[in-house]
Structure formats: structure tokens, C-alpha cells
């Protein structure tokens, strides 16, 4: 971190980033004890930074302070020590330190713990302050430190220094939605470590919106479905799975909007730690899901046995939902499929009456099969009598047909 040069002042300003230390590492060169370097290696065997009993291990017991500014990742807390030192031989007064953080979109003031104005600063004395800020943007950040003071001759002086650093992306998050028939949504999340060192995943949670409830499928009674190990090596990826269920709408409310268009399902809350314990947190933007298109009228099979016998009557329940914003006048026609051995029983053509927007209607149907095997439920025709438009529903469900035991 380098500051811009300015005119000579009575005070000096230094900025040091406060971060965790790292384990001291030493490059090992293994040689035979009979070689010329063997004696030197024997002399260094008891060096103070070597771990006891494992002299050749490259990591020792000592911790070292960072020698450079290091990397700052999105979601971490940026903490720095601001030090103003009086290098002159005269006393100054009314010393003020102001610190701002400039990003591409905003400028944030970083208040510290020191007093706003220091009345007097004697020679060789210092003012130390610590500032912290949670980094929420990627890209270039500029730390602006401004110092103002007054000399003994009542001359007011002012100078600034700028420190530039980059904020990097620590993890890559990818999501994918899977839709099922009963309006449940499965969310698959892939988290990849794109840093150069291992990280530990402390928390990965899905915070649902008010329209959904969430079930975490990554935990079982015996533990996690993946592994008890929560760390990710560089470029490693881990998957998480969640099930989202629509909340039951209030009485009298229409839920036709909830199954159409773009809906917000929630957001991910991710907390991780670096290999030396630096904590970071990321919250994704709202996750949006495009609901599957059901057309003007949605038909779903709500009741159907898994297995049926040949030439035995089967009861089925289908639900019709009006997905448009107008009232519809409907009629029903059931067409038998002779090639598949599917025959509808009872009244196969009737008027269903009016169906309001967003409302549903349950149909009790009877059918039988004359052929065994895995058969499809087909031949359902619903007509909008006002527009003279017919909606065809084939292969809406499957049933296993077996020969009668008798």
C-alpha cells in the first residue's frame, strides 16, 4: 500500500492493515548427513522456529506478521490502524483525523474510536486510531485519510493521503431450479472456492421469501449428506440442496399469480473463514425463479393409484385451475385411447360451468385398462365455450397395469 507524496508537514501519517498472522514457513533442502551440507543441516536442526520432533517439517511453531497488504475479499471486514505522529520539535494543537472509503459507487465515512479533535499533540507523540468497514463491493477501493492541525503560530495546515487496494471475489455461487408437479421447487446451489488458499464453510443457509417455506436437504439425523468436512481447497466445489414449498394463501386470496411469471424465492446467506480464521460473510441478491408456463388452464392429477389390474375400474381425481384473469365457461370431453387399451367410464362429455379467475375445480373420473404394462393417462379434452378453444391433455400421469391375480 503506497501513499501519494505531499509537501513536508510537522506530522506524519501511516496506515497499517490489521490482519491475522500466518504460520512461519521455511524452504527445506534435504541432504544426506555425509554430504558437505550435512554438517550445516545438523547445526540448524535445533533452530528456534522448527517444530519439536519434526525438524524437517516446512511449517514451524512461530507466527509471522504480514509483510504486505495482502488480499481483501468481498464480505470480509477491512480493519486498519491509522497513526499520526508528531515528528517535529514543537507542539501542535487541534489535530483532526478524518477517514473515508471511496468506491466506484459511493463514499463512506469511517468513524474511529479516537476523539474527533485532539487539543494538543506534543513532540514525538502519536495519535492511534482503528477503523473497520465491512467490504460489500468488488473492484478498486481508495482509503482517503485527511489530517488537519494548527501550529503554535496559529497557522492551520491540512494534508491528505490516498491508499488504493483491490477487493477480490472469494467464492463463485451458481444456482439452478428444478420444478415438480406439486408446486415444490428444488434449488441446487454450487459454491466454488476461487481463492488461492483453503476456506472453511461455517454457514450456508437459504433465507426464503414470505411466499415460500424451506427444507434443508443437506442435513439428516445422522449428520450431513455430503461430509463432516466443511473446508474447501482452492477451486473445490461443494453442492447444497434445498426444497421450497409455497405458503398456503390466506383465506379468500388467489394464488394464481404465485404460479406464474417471475417470483422471488429468497437469498443465500454464506459465512466462511480463511485458513487463519479471518471471517467473511456474503448474502446473494434475491434469487428469482421463472415459473413454468401452464397455459390458460392447468390440469394436474391429484389422486391416482400406482398400480391397477386389467379390466378393473380405477378412480382418479384431476384438478383444473383457471390461470387467466377472466371467468371461463368450460366443458369436458373424455376420449378413450383404444391403441393403449384406455377406456373412460360413465359420462364422458359434460358441461363444467363457470370457473372464476384463479379458482380450481376437482373432477372425479373413472377409467379402466384392457392392456397390462406401464400406461399413460390421456384423452382429456377441456373446451372454453366462449372462445371455442379446446385444450388437450395427454400423458398427464402414468399407472402400472398388471394382470388380475384371479
Q: Is this model's pTM higher than 0.75 or not?
A: no
pLDDT value of residue 55 = 59
Residue 324 gets which letter from DSSP?
S
User: What single string gives the DSSP state of each residue in 10-25?
Assistant: SEEEEEEE----EEEE
| Measured distance CA(211)–CA(390) in Å, rounded | 33
Smallest Cα–Cα separation from 118: which of 89, 79, 82?
82
What nine digits make up the cell of 238? 461443494
- Contact between 375 and 402 under an 8 Å Cβ cutoff? The reply is no
pLDDT value of residue 380 = 92
| Ranges of the chain whose pLDDT falls below 70 | 1-7, 24-61, 66-68, 114-115, 181-182, 220-229, 248-262, 291-294, 406
pLDDT value of residue 288 = 85
CA distances to 151, 321, 351 from 387, in Å: 88, 17, 15
pLDDT value of residue 29 = 58
pLDDT value of residue 264 = 86
pLDDT value of residue 337 = 87
Q: What is the pLDDT of residues 253-283, one digit of tens each?
A: 445 444 555 678 899 999 998 877 788 899 8
Other CB atoms closer than 10 Å to residue 334's CB: what's the count?
Answer: 21
pLDDT value of residue 229 = 59
CA distances to 21, 73, 175, 234 from 195, in Å: 18, 9, 20, 6
Q: List, in sequence order, every beta strand (DSSP E) within 221-313.
A: 223-224, 231-232, 237-246, 262-274, 279-283, 287-290, 297-303, 307-309
- Contact between 334 and 394 under an 8 Å Cβ cutoff? The reply is no
| Measured distance CA(69)–CA(66) in Å, rounded | 7
What is the largest distance, in Å, between two alpha-carbon atoms of the chain?
115
Q: What is the pLDDT of residues 68-83, one digit of tens each?
A: 677 789 988 888 889 9
What nine digits make up the cell of 365? 373420473
Other CB atoms closer than 10 Å to residue 155's CB: what's the count?
Answer: 9
pLDDT value of residue 289 = 79
What nine digits make up the cell of 377? 393417462
Amino acid at each position: 500500500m503506497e501513499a501519494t507524496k505531499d509537501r513536508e508537514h510537522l506530522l506524519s501519517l501511516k496506515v497499517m492493515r490489521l490482519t491475522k498472522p500466518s504460520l512461519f514457513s521455511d524452504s527445506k533442502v534435504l541432504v544426506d548427513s555425509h554430504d558437505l551440507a550435512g554438517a550445516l543441516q545438523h547445526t540448524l536442526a535445533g533452530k528456534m522456529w522448527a517444530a519439536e520432533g519434526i525438524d524437517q517439517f516446512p511449517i514451524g511453531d512461530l507466527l509471522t506478521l504480514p509483510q504486505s497488504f495482502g488480499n481483501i475479499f468481498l464480505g470480509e471486514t477491512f480493519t486498519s490502524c491509522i497513526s499520526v505522529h508528531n515528528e517535529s520539535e514543537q507542539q501542535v494543537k487541534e489535530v483532526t483525523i478524518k477517514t473515508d472509503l471511496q468506491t466506484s459507487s459511493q463514499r463512506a465515512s469511517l468513524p474511529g474510536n479516537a476523539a474527533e479533535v485532539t487539543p494538543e499533540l506534543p513532540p514525538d507523540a502519536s495519535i492511534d486510531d482503528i477503523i473497520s468497514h465491512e467490504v460489500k463491493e468488488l473492484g478498486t477501493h481508495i482509503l482517503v485519510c485527511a489530517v488537519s492541525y494548527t501550529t503554535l503560530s496559529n497557522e492551520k495546515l491540512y494534508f491528505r493521503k490516498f491508499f488504493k487496494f483491490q477487493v477480490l471475489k472469494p467464492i463463485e455461487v451458481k444456482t439452478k431450479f428444478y420444478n415438480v408437479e406439486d408446486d415444490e421447487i428444488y434449488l441446487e446451489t454450487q459454491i466454488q472456492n476461487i481463492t488461492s488458499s483453503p476456506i472453511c464453510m461455517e454457514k450456508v443457509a437459504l433465507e426464503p421469501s414470505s411466499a415460500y417455506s424451506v427444507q434443508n436437504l443437506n442435513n439428516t439425523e445422522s449428520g450431513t449428506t455430503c461430509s463432516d468436512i466443511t473446508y474447501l481447497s482452492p477451486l473445490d466445489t461443494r453442492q447444497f440442496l434445498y426444497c421450497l414449498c409455497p405458503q398456503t394463501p390466506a383465506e379468500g386470496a388467489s394464488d394464481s399469480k404465485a404460479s406464474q411469471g417471475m417470483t422471488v424465492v429468497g437469498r443465500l446467506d454464506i459465512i466462511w473463514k480463511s485458513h487463519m480464521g479471518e471471517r467473511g460473510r456474503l448474502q446473494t441478491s434475491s434469487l428469482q425463479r421463472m415459473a413454468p408456463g401452464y397455459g390458460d388452464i392447468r390440469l394436474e392429477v391429484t389422486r391416482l393409484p400406482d398400480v391397477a389390474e386389467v379390466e378393473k375400474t380405477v378412480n382418479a381425481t384431476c384438478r383444473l385451475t383457471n390461470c387467466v384473469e377472466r371467468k371461463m365457461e368450460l366443458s369436458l370431453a373424455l376420449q378413450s385411447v383404444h391403441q393403449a387399451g384406455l377406456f373412460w367410464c360413465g359420462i364422458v362429455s359434460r358441461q363444467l360451468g363457470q370457473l372464476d379467475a384463479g379458482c380450481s375445480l376437482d373432477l372425479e373420473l373413472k377409467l379402466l385398462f384392457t392392456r397390462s404394462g406401464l400406461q399413460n393417462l390421456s384423452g382429456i379434452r377441456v373446451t372454453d365455450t366462449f372462445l371455442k378453444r379446446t385444450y388437450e391433455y395427454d400423458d398427464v400421469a402414468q399407472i402400472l397395469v398388471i394382470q388380475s391375480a384371479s
